[in-house]
């Protein structure tokens, strides 16, 4: 049976480190501030936004909330982002995605100052990541690397297969694994013989967006499996892109859902907020 990689525990360690840094900054009269913008009331987004604000509070980071109506115009949102870019108190700006269809997501993400882009979605940060320069890295991708490193799982020289090529997870995690000297393959919906590809992996990252798709037949015995998915099953129970029971019977280590990658995303976002202030000091 595979070892369970406890994301809640590891996220707790990171949050404790961030909390200590926030306290240290506060002792110098510096308050770290994250601005969170939500447009509309998508229920999933509301849960994520609430959790981000709650975690800020827990760590002593000030959160400022901006809630725009579903019908808000792109100009309204761009104008708010512009104000926050100029506001010296604000360290991080987060626009919760997805945005309503009348708003061009690309234009909004590009309007956020790269120095305050704690989500790491601005093309400047994306480019810097691929050049191996200092930048903000998207929380989920950075969190996956932390899970591996803090669990003592080596990446250097190993076969890493990422299934999924999204801008938020697949592409950045592939870049990070490469930076750690992994041999990286990115598979996706057009990949032929997917099982043959995934069965090469020493480290398999599943970010497919399909409920329980990755079972034991996709996994080399002894591989490490990281599950990025989050879905509700037919019994309304949370599950991932990986069929946990099946995968755990062949993997050497695996992240559960919930309690694996999920808690890491917010912990890494909080770390980016403190990092933003440290860089600006
Ligand atoms: N929507 C889903 N994931 C994310 C994320 O990491 N950041 C933002 N801003 N929106 C999201």
The predicted-structure confidence for 21-40, as pLDDT tens digits, reads as follows: 999 999 999 999 999 999 99
pLDDT at 208: 97
- What confidence tens digit (pLDDT) does each residue in 92-112 have? 999 999 999 999 999 999 999
Residue 47 has pLDDT above 90, yes or no: yes
Of ligand 1's listed atoms, the one at least distance from the Cα of 97 is 10
207 Cβ closer than 6 Å to some ligand 1 atom: no
Residue 220 contacts by C-beta under 8 Å, 6 or more apart in sequence? Answer: 199, 200, 201, 202, 250
276 Cβ closer than 6 Å to some ligand 1 atom: no
- Cα(252) to ligand 1 centroid in Å equals 30
Measured CA angle at 14 (ends 17, 53), to 5 deg: 95
230 Cβ closer than 6 Å to some ligand 1 atom: no
Helical spans, DSSP H, in 201-261: 244-248
Evaluate the omega torsion of the peptide bond into residue 258 and state whether it is cis, within 30 degrees of 0.
yes
Residue of the CA atom closest to atom 8 of ligand 1 = 96
Provide mean pLDDT across the span 47-65: 97
Residue of the CA atom closest to atom 11 of ligand 1 = 97
Residue 1 has pLDDT above 90, yes or no: no
């Amino acid at each position: 049976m595979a070892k369970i990689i406890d994301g809640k525990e590891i996220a707790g360690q990171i949050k404790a480190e961030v909390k200590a840094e926030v306290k240290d900054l506060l002792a110098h009269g510096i308050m770290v501030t994250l601005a969170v913008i939500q447009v509309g009331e998508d229920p999933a987004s509301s849960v994520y936004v609430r959790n981000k604000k709650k975690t800020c509070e827990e760590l002593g980071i000030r959160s400022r909330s901006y809630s725009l109506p579903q019908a808000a115009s792109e100009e309204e949102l761009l104008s708010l982002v512009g104000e926050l870019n100029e506001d010296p108190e604000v360290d991080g700006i987060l626009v919760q995605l997805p945005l309503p269809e009348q708003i061009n997501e690309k234009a909004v993400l590009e309007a956020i100052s790269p120095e305050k882009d704690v989500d790491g979605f601005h093309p400047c940060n994306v480019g810097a990541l691929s050049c191996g320069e200092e930048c903000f890295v998207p929380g989920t991708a950075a969190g996956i690397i932390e899970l591996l490193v803090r669990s003592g799982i080596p990446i250097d020289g190993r076969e890493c297969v990422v299934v999924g090529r999204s801008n938020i997870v697949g592409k950045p995690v592939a870049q990070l694994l490469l930076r750690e000297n992994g041999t990286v393959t990115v598979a996706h919906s057009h990949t032929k013989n997917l099982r043959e590809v995934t069965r090469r992996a020493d480290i398999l990252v599943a970010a497919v967006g399909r409920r329980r798709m990755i079972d034991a037949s996709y996994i080399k015995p002894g591989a490490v499996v990281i599950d990025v998915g989050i879905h509700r099953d037919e019994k309304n129970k949370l599950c991932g892109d990986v069929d946990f029971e099946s995968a755990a019977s062949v993997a050497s280590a695996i992240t559960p859902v919930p309690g694996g990658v999920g808690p890491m995303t917010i912990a890494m976002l909080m770390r980016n907020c403190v990092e933003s202030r440290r860089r600006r000091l």
